[in-house]
Structure 1
Amino acid sequence: MPPNQGVLTVGAADADTGTSAEIQYSLFGIGVEDFYMDANTGDMKTATVMDREETSSYKLIAQATDGGGLFCRSEVSVTLLDVNDNPPTFFYSQYLANVYENAAPKALLTRLQASDPDEGPNRTVVYSLIDSADGFFSIDPVSGVVVLERALDRETRDSYRIRIQASDRSGLQGALSSQVSYMVGHRSV
């Protein structure tokens, strides 16, 4: 959430008259520096860029003080909702695996892992291959397990590089993704 976004307006009434009835508003508590409260109107706005992954909620105190120094206080709870602002990230920048030449098709080679600090569907990671090295490999979209689809022949080709993508399930907000290289070398039996 950008700065200067309206959050809420607090209000108070005073039965006094004259300057004793003039109310000034203020805000207290941990994280108060992330907000601005207009002393005359009670309008509360964001003062900084807000990021739910850094601070997800605030418990603040709004105070209304009249011209005579009397005051009342009320708790203000602010909860930030998630937006899809973080792509999934792989735990490692590159993955390596060695496969024996006689490994059977459907052999499970390795599991790639990525995480996303967003919430809800924005947090769910889906794995896919950008290329499958001519159909030699597949990946389970949920678990991230790389599977051998066809038998390898070391004499024909001794290594493979495939690119794998991790995307989030963001729905209408637009999927964010990251990519990683996966090197497969194979050994003779």
Structure 2
Amino acid sequence: MRALWFVPALLLGCADNARWSTEPGESWCGSVTAASFVRAGMHESTRLRLELDAERLQSAPGRVWTTAFDSGERLAAADLRVIPQMLHDPLSTLNFGEGRVKNALAIVDVPSVDAARPATQLLVVVSLLQSGDVEVRLIRGASPGTATTVNIEQLFGVFHMKREKGDCGVR
């Protein structure tokens, strides 16, 4: 009987991610943080829409849309893709900052807007917040001057998301 004392503690420590999932007709909506020191390649009015299945963070977490980045690129119903091998790496337990219940990493394809700019990918960090909201980071690095990245701009943006009915005006 003494060995069962830890069961309630384990149950309390388990996060039920379902409360962050969007229902049909709902989206997580937000604008990029306006401060230029935490934003690259995006105008301060850049918006993001997220449909999230928070119970599938390790397989198929959802889709994202954005308004256009400075480069003209945008995301339109882009699938968040998980790297299965990362689930067996300590990076899958990424924990940073206060107030985050769970962080998930995914990749999303960014389609090319013209022949001079190749299609690329973004790293997406989705954070489920204790407040019940969601935070999203979009990240793409570039090394200026190299042959393969000469037409690719760095992207970085932090979006604090609120649940809304509809498509956030981002299609």
Q: Same fold (TM over 0.5)?
A: no
Normalised-by-shorter TM-score class: under 0.3
Structure whose residues are more often strand by fraction: 1
Larger relative contact order, structure 1 or 2 (CA cutoff 8 Å, min sep 6): 2
TM-score by length of 2: 0.24
TM-score by length of 1: 0.22
Larger Rg over CA atoms? 1
